[in-house]
Amino acid sequence: MISSLIFISLLAVAFVFFAKRILFIKRNILLGQKLKISDNSPKRWQLMLSVAIGQSKMVKRPLAGIMHIFVYVGFLLVNIEMLEIMLDGVFHTHRLFSFMGGFYSFLINSFEFFAMAVIVACVVFLVRRNVGKLKRFHSAEMTKGPKSDANIILFTEIALMSAFLVMNASDALLQNLGSPHYVATGSFYISSQLMPLFQNLSEGTLIFIERFAWWFHITGVLVFMNYVTYSKHLHIFLAFPNVYYSKLTKIGHLPSMESVRKEVELMMSDPYAAPANDAAQDEPAKFGASDVHDFSWKTLLDAYTCTECGRCTSVCPANLTGKKLSPRKLLMDVRDRSEEIGKQMDIQKADYKSDQKSLLSYIASEEIWACTTCNACAVACPVNINHTEIIYSLRRYLVMEQSSAPASLNNCFKNIENNGAPWQFSPEDRLLWAEE
């Protein structure tokens, strides 16, 4: 049948574009430094089940959390039916799994319940964003693109779930009319509430509505599948690996730099010893990070997983007191810079040369030094992103490579070098205060 050929072609095109985009994102993430994470697998699986699947951090804000669970679970469950729709499209059948009888009715009724829950939740989210004007959705970094992205996704989900219900309602009416090709499965509870809207329509009109809703739903899902790879909703796929590979040590733990640690250990054991001569290392290692290549792949995965929900920024003490820092913007900047480099690599291919820009072209010095490293952002993040890793690395680069730090820190460094303490007093005078 021609419709089957059209459907198979549509599937092929959609999955080719999807695979191409996923490979592009994978390559960009792997621009980061190698980092081996293989410890404590049981705890990592437990964390992923709790945070990524169980949404344990989302429900700390009950309204948004519950609505998000409806959207998350509903969209996953309703799209289980995509298997039947795809097989129907390929083999030109109709409701291929209807042979399951009562269990099939139970499944479709469950899907319809969650489809309705998705519609309700998306309407609530649209109202909160566009009418309630929640502050975290309207920060400076939430320009027209990020704002539109959220609305596009919400309207799309409403349209897809509505098409699913309309398809079932018109299908049930066609069954009642005994129309050929429409297998008798009976009506379903929620879609049956829509049947009066189409009750007096002709059989031909009902077939058009049912087919239009069917094609709209499957085409919409395939377009949505590709769109999310360009959207903040990429976390639908990446939240699971990101949480699995998240940090298991205490959030505030600052890992030492291997090259610096070796020098300190050598100095502590023998202050007069010569530095270790590593013949395999012709150039000294770079201190900190100035561009995406200098971060680990996990940090770049964090950037692509960011949901742009703004929970991090809404609890940041620096941001709340009017500072320029927004933890959400840091992740968006890292992701945007990764995308920029990835596109340059695709255009230049073997002739690729890094441009003169760096991540510091996106992130101002004021943002970097405003952070108090309290890690409130990391605690609040629903997908276990560690924002302060970016801050630590940028600060290390500025101080150790560029000798660029605020005057107060430079004075502190100078005092530590000269006096062995951050204060501007010689060690001999340190206890004079006690003499009185």
- Is residue 252 assigned to a domain? no
For residue 271, what pLDDT is reported? 65
Lowest mean per-residue pLDDT among 39-48, 275-284, 421-430: 275-284
Per-residue confidence band for 292, with pLDDT thresholds at 50, 70 and 90: very high
Instruction: Domain of residue 145: give its range.
Output: 38-244
Q: What's the mean pLDDT in 256-281?
A: 69
Helix axes 388-400, 327-348, angle to 10 degrees: 70
- Is residue 109 assigned to a domain? yes
**Residue pLDDT, tens place only, 346-365:** 998 888 887 888 999 999 99
For residue 33, what are the β-bridge partners? 296
Q: How many domains does the chain have?
A: 1
pLDDT at 20 over 90: yes
What residues have CB less than 8 Å from 109, skipping those under 6 apart? 188, 189, 190
pLDDT at 420 over 90: no
pLDDT at 319 over 80: yes
- Is residue 104 assigned to a domain? yes
**Residue pLDDT, tens place only, 300-313:** 999 999 999 999 99
pLDDT at 281 over 60: no
Distance CA 59, CA 429 (A): 55
Residue with tokens 């995406």: 292
**Residue 183 CA: distances (Å) to CA of 28, 117, 169, 215, 288:** 48, 27, 14, 18, 64
- Is residue 55 assigned to a domain? yes
- Is residue 313 assigned to a domain? no
- Is residue 140 assigned to a domain? yes
Q: How far is CA 271 from the centre of its chain?
A: 47
pLDDT at 143 over 70: yes
Per-state percent for the chain, helix, strand, coil, to nearest 5 = 70, 0, 30
pLDDT at 279 over 50: no
- Among residues of the chain, what percentage have pLDDT more than 90? 54
- Is residue 79 assigned to a domain? yes
Most confidently modeled of 121-135, 203-217, 351-365? 203-217
pTM for this one?
A: 0.87
For residue 276, what pLDDT is reported? 60
- Is residue 165 assigned to a domain? yes
For residue 225, what pLDDT is reported? 92
Q: Which residue has the higher pLDDT, 253 or 385?
A: 385
Lowest mean per-residue pLDDT among 32-41, 161-170, 185-194, 264-273: 264-273
SS3 per residue for 372-400: CCCCHHHHHCCCCCCCHHHHHHHHHHHHH
